[in-house]
Amino acid sequence: MSELEDKARNTLPLTEATYYVLISLVEARHGYGIMQNVTALSENKVRIGPGTMYGALRNLFKQGLIERAGERETEGERRKVYTLTKLGRSVVLLECERLETLARIGREAAEKLREERKESTP
């Protein structure tokens, strides 16, 4: 296992909000764009306010998961744009693998429970 992968594994598991923020940064975005994308990806189930968003960005920046990718002029305002670092990309990939494993195990368990329910129903 590489040093990068070791560092990435040490950040897992991610909170739901952090997961959505990092997934949003697969493409470089500014903070407001991230908030909008999180809402869209989660189908309005997760909403991140500005205070939470900028606190999360600060923490992710300190952890080395994201970096500044310049500025973008939007609606007459300059906005800082962020993107994933190499470490951030590794974290996203490992978290996706972890969640896929959890989902597979959950589907198998649910199928067993459905079969048990069918057998016990008169």
Average pLDDT, consecutive stretches of 10 residues, N- to C-terminus, the chain (122 residues): 90 95 97 96 94 93 96 83 97 97 97 89 72
Q: What was the pLDDT predicted at 74?
A: 75
Q: What was the pLDDT predicted at 21?
A: 97
Task: Output the CA angle 93-101-9, nearest 5 degrees.
Answer: 45
pTM of this structure: 0.87
Q: What was the pLDDT predicted at 111?
A: 95
DSSP-derived secondary structure for 29-95: EEHHHHHHHHHHHTTTS----HHHHHHHHHHHHHTTSEEEEEEEEETTEEEEEEEE-HHHHHHHHHH
The CATH number linked to 47 is 1.10.10.10
For the chain, the domain total comes to: 1
DSSP-derived secondary structure for 99-114: HHHHHHHHHHHHHHHH
Domain range enclosing 19: 3-120
